[in-house]
Structure formats: structure tokens, C-alpha cells
């Protein structure tokens, strides 16, 4: 084993990776465009068959009147909350402390739209009905993220979700779904996308996470809502002259992978069980509720990285290229199951995890 090889270098060299769909390189585009007629006309500033047909397909999937394709989810969600804020004449909105808008967007919601977020629940748990009932001032909108990515992809039980939606209707609070990974949670809930979305006034989904497209998002809701969203999309500079380089891969991979979410979910549960069977390794949640979960190692990063480099080189199996430091001398990383998991047999995966357990026991 090389003494100087980094975790990222060893991961890149590992012949097999257990998560994701594969490298994000030009092949992703080539596969999507291979079956496209070269004479297909592009969309132009939000109009044209290529964008309109896909938007209609997504609206049908989500059970909404209409849908709008956006170049990013960051843009789509800020616009959704701005629309509800304007309509309710309230600047306050509520969401989880680890919501994407709060921790990854450089305060865009506050700086661009002058909205005031109220943070509900503790960082380590989901928002509950009691949290919503405890809000002490009027709010325009409540945002719920399904699954809650930063705490391992946890989900509320569906009955709790229904209760929150019913309470919001009574209190005249608009309910927005951060459904970046909505398709991935449907197998756990045993619901269709339209059934889940019927609880919400607006919904956003990503087309590059579980779907595996290049970039982009869909914002859906009532037709008056989506027409207003198009105006804000232009204001944000998101109404590009053409978005078809993003739409064609989104459509291609959506049609390939939407029906595989149940398979990814079952594989995630199998993989989490193998991690939990290793010394000083655990997952959050212990039993995944989608295709994603977090893996925690009871060892600090300085000691764990050379162990994982050795593991990659001995087994040919790559787990992650980077680790996140956690409190208590631990570290973690995020797993999202995709097409790559099926490239190894269960016997090969089990053998690799027996070796991981042995190495973890050697480290103490």
C-alpha cells in the first residue's frame, strides 16, 4: 500500500464504487443525446416542445396543474417561498435548521427576497406537528424536506405528514415540499408522487440527484402559481435562451431510473445492515427509509483514512472519496445508492465487508 496516497486518489483508482450512478463525465451527455434526432429544435426562453412536453410529463407525475423547469433548485425554492410570502403579505417562513436554504445558499432568501426564516425543531431531529403548532407568529409558508438529507435522510411517518398538512390548511399556512429526492422516498411510503404532492401547495424536485441528469429542477403547483414562477425565473436570470442540454438528459434518465427507486431502496437497506455489522460502524438511520443514509465511523479521520485506503486497495471496492469530521472523535460520509451497486455480486460485497470489519477491529 502506498504511504502517500490520499483517500480521494485511492477511491478514484478503486475498480468498483458502491454508490451513485457512475462518473459525471461527458458519457452522461452522450448516452442521453444518442437517441435524439439531430434536427430536434431547441426551446427558446421557456417555449418549445422539448421543454413544454417535459413540463407536462412532470406535472402529470406530481399530480399538479402545471410545472416549470428551472436551471437550479436553489432558484426554484427561493422563488416558491417569495411567491407565497407576497400572496400572504408575510415575510416569515419556517423550515428545519439544516434546510438547504439555511446552510448552503449564502443567505440568498434573506438577501435577495428579504424573507425571515423561523427555524423549527432541533438540528438532529425532524419537524413534528407540535413544532408547527408552537410557532408564535404568523408565517406565509412552511417548507418540509423529504427526506431530511443532513440528518441521514430521515422521514416523518406518513400519518404525521398528513396531520401537518391538515393543520396548515386550517391555519392558512402554505406548505411547500423540498422534494429534491421525492422519487427516492416513494417506496418507503408506498405512495405515488401525486399522492404525496397532494398534501402540498407547491413542490420542487431535482432532476440530477437520484434521477442522475446533468442539472436542473422542476417547480410544480397550481397554474397561477407556475405562471408567476415563470416571471420570477426571468427576473432571476434563469430563463436562459435554451435549457434543452439539461432537459434532454433529465427526461432520458428519469425514464430509465424512476422505476428503479424501489430496487435502490432495498439495496440501501442491505448495505446499511452490512455497515452496522462492522466494528465501530453505524448508519443513520439504522434502517434506511430511502436510497440514502449516513455512515458513521467511531474513529477520527486521521486514523480512518489510511485504513480505508488499504481497504480500497485490497478489495477493489471504493466507499467514499472524503470524510466529514464529527464530534466525539468520529467521522462520517453520505451514501446514495444508484446503478453502480448492482455491479458486484452479494458474495463479493459480503467478502469486502468482512475485510472492513477485520480492519476496524485492528484499529481498536
Q: Are 160 and 128 a contacting pair, CB within 8 Å?
A: yes
Fold of 43-241: 3.40.640
Q: How many helices (H) and strands (E) does the chain have?
A: 15, 13
How far apart are alpha carbons 186 and 209 in whole angstroms? 15
Residue ranges for the chain with pLDDT beneath 70: 1-3
Closest listed residue to residue 109, CA positions, set 84, 145, 144, 136: 84
Q: For residue 142, what are the β-bridge partners?
A: 94, 175
Q: What is the pTM of this model?
A: 0.96
Quick one: pLDDT at residue 4? Answer: 75
Rg of the chain (C-alpha set): 21
pLDDT of residue 1: 45
Tens of pLDDT, residues 116-152 = 999 999 999 999 999 999 999 999 999 999 999 999 9
**What is the per-residue pLDDT for 3?**
59
Q: Domain ranges for the chain, please list them.
A: 7-23+260-363, 43-241
Using CA atoms, how far apart are residues 251 and 120, in angstroms rounded to an integer?
Answer: 35
- Tell me the CATH number for domain 7-23+260-363: 3.90.1150.10
DSSP string over 219-265: EEE-HHHHHHHHHHHHHTT---S--HHHHHHHHHHHHHHGGGHHHHH
Amino acid at each position: 500500500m502506498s504511504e502517500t496516497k490520499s483517500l480521494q486518489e485511492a477511491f478514484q483508482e478503486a475498480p468498483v464504487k458502491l454508490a451513485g450512478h457512475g462518473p459525471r463525465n461527458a458519457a452522461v451527455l452522450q448516452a442521453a443525446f444518442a437517441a435524439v434526432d439531430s434536427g430536434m429544435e431547441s426551446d427558446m426562453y421557456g417555449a418549445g416542445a422539448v421543454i413544454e412536453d417535459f413540463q407536462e410529463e412532470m406535472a402529470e407525475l406530481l399530480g399538479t396543474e402545471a410545472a416549470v423547469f428551472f436551471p437550479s433548485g436553489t432558484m426554484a425554492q427561493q422563488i416558491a417561498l417569495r411567491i407565497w410570502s407576497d400572496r400572504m403579505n408575510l415575510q416569515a417562513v419556517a423550515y428545519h435548521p439544516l434546510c438547504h436554504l439555511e446552510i448552503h445558499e449564502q443567505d440568498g432568501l434573506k438577501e435577495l427576497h428579504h424573507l425571515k426564516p423561523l427555524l423549527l425543531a432541533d438540528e438532529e431531529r425532524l419537524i413534528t406537528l407540535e413544532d408547527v403548532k408552537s410557532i408564535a407568529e404568523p408565517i406565509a409558508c412552511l417548507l418540509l424536506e423529504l427526506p431530511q438529507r443532513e440528518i441521514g435522510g430521515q422521514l416523518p411517518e406518513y400519518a404525521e405528514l398528513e396531520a401537518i398538512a391538515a393543520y396548515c390548511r386550517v391555519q392558512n399556512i402554505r406548505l411547500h415540499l423540498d422534494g429534491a429526492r421525492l422519487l427516492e422516498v416513494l417506496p418507503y411510503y408506498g405512495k405515488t408522487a401525486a399522492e404525496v404532492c397532494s398534501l402540498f401547495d407547491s413542490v420542487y424536485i431535482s432532476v440530477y440527484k437520484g434521477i442522475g441528469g446533468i442539472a436542473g429542477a422542476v417547480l410544480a403547483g397550481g397554474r397561477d402559481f407556475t405562471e408567476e414562477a415563470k416571471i420570477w425565473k426571468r427576473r432571476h436570470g434563469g430563463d436562459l435562451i435554451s435549457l434543452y442540454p439539461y432537459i434532454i438528459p433529465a427526461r432520458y434518465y428519469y425514464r430509465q431510473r424512476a422505476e428503479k427507486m424501489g430496487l435502490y431502496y432495498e439495496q440501501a437497506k442491505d448495505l446499511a445492515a452490512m455497515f452496522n455489522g462492522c466494528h465501530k460502524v453505524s448508519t443513520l438511520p439504522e434502517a434506511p427509509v430511502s436510497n440514502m443514509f449516513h455512515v458513521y465511523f467511531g474513529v477520527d479521520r486521521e486514523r480512518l483514512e489510511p485504513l480505508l485506503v488499504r481497504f480500497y486497495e485490497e478489495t477493489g471496492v471504493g466507499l467514499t472519496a472524503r470524510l466529514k469530521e464529527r464530534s466525539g472523535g468520529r467521522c462520517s460520509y453520505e451514501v446514495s445508492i444508484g446503478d453502480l451497486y448492482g455491479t458486484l455480486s452479494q458474495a463479493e460485497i459480503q467478502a469486502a465487508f468482512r475485510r472492513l470489519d477485520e480492519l476496524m477491529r485492528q484499529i481498536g
